[in-house]
Amino acid sequence: MVTYVYWITLGILCVFLLWVLIRANQTKMGIIVAIIVFITGVSSYFFHFQQVFVKHYGGVMTLKVPQGQHHLGSTWKDDHLWIENYDPIKNICYFNEYSRGNLLQGQVVIEDCNPLIDKN
């Protein structure tokens, strides 16, 4: 829910700034300012707010499991999301980190992990 509020607020802010500067006969400046505010808002969301919103305030985030892999689990470490997937063809488990802005993504590879095989 908070994610939608963020985007609606950003849109309203951009339109409001554009409207105010157009009314002041500063159309070119209004367009430039609105674009700068929009780019700053989008960058702030993807590089800072996305995972904070999801973890702390019930925001929305979508990730896709790579083709051919099975999702095993996920966990939070601070504000970073770790996803565990299993590739049955290669018999490898992957722990992938989704950090803020996806700049510093870690990956742990466990070979011969066999998580889906019943050993009874």
- pLDDT tens, 21-67? 989 888 899 899 999 999 999 998 888 787 778 778 876 777 888 89
Same domain, yes or no: 9 and 40: yes
C-beta neighbour count of 67 within 10 angstroms: 5
Which amino acid appears at position 75 of this protein? T
CB of 100 closer than 8 Å to CB of 80: yes
Same domain, yes or no: 53 and 6: yes
Same domain, yes or no: 46 and 76: no
Same domain, yes or no: 81 and 40: no
Judge whether 14 lies within some domain: yes
- Is 50 or 117 the better-scoring residue by pLDDT? 50
d(CA 105, CA 99): 6
State the residue range of the domain holding 18.
Answer: 2-57
116 three-class SS: coil
